[in-house]
Structure formats: C-alpha cells, structure tokens
C-alpha cells in the first residue's frame, strides 16, 4: 500500500448470522509523486481503467479503490490470483469465494467484501436537477421527498441506494431505477425483497450505501 496516499482509512467489519462483510473507506491525498507510486503498485486492470479518466483526482480515486480492494483481500485471507474484471471494469473473484464491490466520489473511495453478493456506492451530497431525480426515482419516492427541506440529501440517498443495488444484484439500470426504496425515520432502509440495505453518513458531506443479499 502506498504510504501517505490515504489521508484517512475507516474500516468496519460486520458479522450477522454467518454473513460476514468488510467495508473499507478512505480519503485521498492528491499528490503527483504519490499518484505515480500508486499506479506502480496497482493491478494492471485498475491502472488501465484509471488511465482513461481525464482528471488526476478521478485517477487517484479509481486507483485508491483498487488499492483498498488489495488490502481488503489480504485482511480477508483471500488471494489476488483469482481477481478478474468484467467488460465494464468491475472486479470479481473467480469461483466466487467472496463478492467485491468498489466505488469512489469526490475525495473518497470505498470497497466492500462479503460472502454473499454485495454492492457499495459513495456519493457527495450535492444538488441534483429535479428532472434527473424524477428519472431515477419512482412516483412514491418522489412524493415522499418533494418539497422537504432535506430534499437534496434524500435525492442523493435514493441514487446511492439504487447504485448499490444495481452493483449487488446485476439488474439493469432501468431495473434499479424502478426499484422502490423507503427511508424510515430511524435511519433504516426498506428496499427490494431478498436484499438488505444500509445507508451511512459518517463521512461528512457524503452518503455511503451498501446492499447485500439477505
């Protein structure tokens, strides 16, 4: 792991009824020398994906997600030998000894590893155009947040949850947009049957969603 590349690293491990999950999240340091060192120790597929990104910040975030995955695999006692990427550049492990998912946004990157299908998404809490929100939300979701003072946070929450569901389940983008979510007052999330969801706001200015098979 490239020393100094991560300004902070958060780690969370969860075990419920035999369903183990490791979540890693880091804040990035944008330094040219560190970026070159990160590229040198990254896996070839991740370097290739990062090379197609225009800005140094996005390249750094993509590389960080890949480095988090390498660290997570070591923490879980899993080998990198079976690590593969699909045509869209998403990582998977041959033979499915575990399931993995990556995400990055702004200054943060995240990685999750679990024994069952899993997806993670992290997003900055920023305004989203109303017409865009209407496109990815169901009518019920729109009615639940339209006109509310926390509309911006709720719209980002729904987007993040749908992204995590898409990654975990493999449904189409249209299928993820059509899936209905309910944000309960106690912070819990209700979503499609057969899946569990968590929405975290421990990183200031960001929301992180995790979806895993129940």
Contact 141, 160 (CB under 8 A): no
Using one digit for the tens of pLDDT, what is the confidence trace for 174-190?
Answer: 999 999 999 998 889 99
Using one digit for the tens of pLDDT, what is the confidence trace for 121-168?
Answer: 999 999 999 999 999 999 999 999 999 999 999 999 999 999 999 999
pTM listed for this prediction: 0.86
State how beta strands 182-183 and 91-93 pair. Answer: unpaired
How many Cα atoms are found within 13 Å in the side-chain-facing hemisphere of 69? Answer: 30
Reported CATH class of domain 6-115: alpha beta
Instruction: Indicate the domain borders of the chain.
Output: 6-115, 122-213
- CA 29 remoteness from chain centre: 19
Choose which CATH entry (1.10.10.60, 3.90.470.20, 3.40.920.10, 3.30.750.80) describes domain 122-213. 3.90.470.20
Q: Given this chain, do its domains 6-115 and 122-213 carry the same CATH topology?
A: yes
Burial string for 126-138 (b: 16+ CB within 10 Å, else e) reads eebeeeebeebbb
């Amino acid at each position: 792991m490239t020393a100094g590349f991560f300004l902070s690293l958060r780690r969370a491990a969860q075990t419920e009824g035999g369903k183990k999950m490791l979540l890693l999240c880091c804040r990035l340091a944008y330094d040219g020398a560190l970026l070159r060192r990160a590229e040198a120790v990254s896996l070839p597929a991740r370097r290739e994906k990062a090379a197609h990104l225009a800005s140094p910040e996005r390249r750094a975030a993509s590389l960080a997600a890949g480095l988090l995955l390498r660290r997570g695999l070591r923490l879980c006692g899993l080998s990198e030998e079976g690590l593969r990427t699909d045509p869209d550049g998403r990582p998977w492990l041959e033979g499915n000894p575990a399931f993995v998912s990556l995400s990055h946004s702004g200054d943060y990157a995240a990685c999750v590893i679990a024994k069952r299908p899993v997806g993670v998404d992290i997003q900055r809490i920023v305004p989203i155009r109303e017409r865009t929100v209407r496109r990815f939300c169901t009518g019920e979701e729109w009615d639940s947040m339209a006109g509310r003072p926390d509309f911006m946070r709720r719209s980002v929450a729904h987007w993040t949850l749908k992204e995590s569901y898409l990654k975990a389940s493999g449904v189409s983008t249209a299928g993820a947009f059509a899936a209905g979510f309910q944000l309960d007052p106690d912070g819990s999330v209700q979503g499609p049957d057969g899946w569990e969801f968590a929405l975290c706001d421990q990183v200031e200015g960001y929301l992180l969603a995790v979806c895993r098979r129940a």
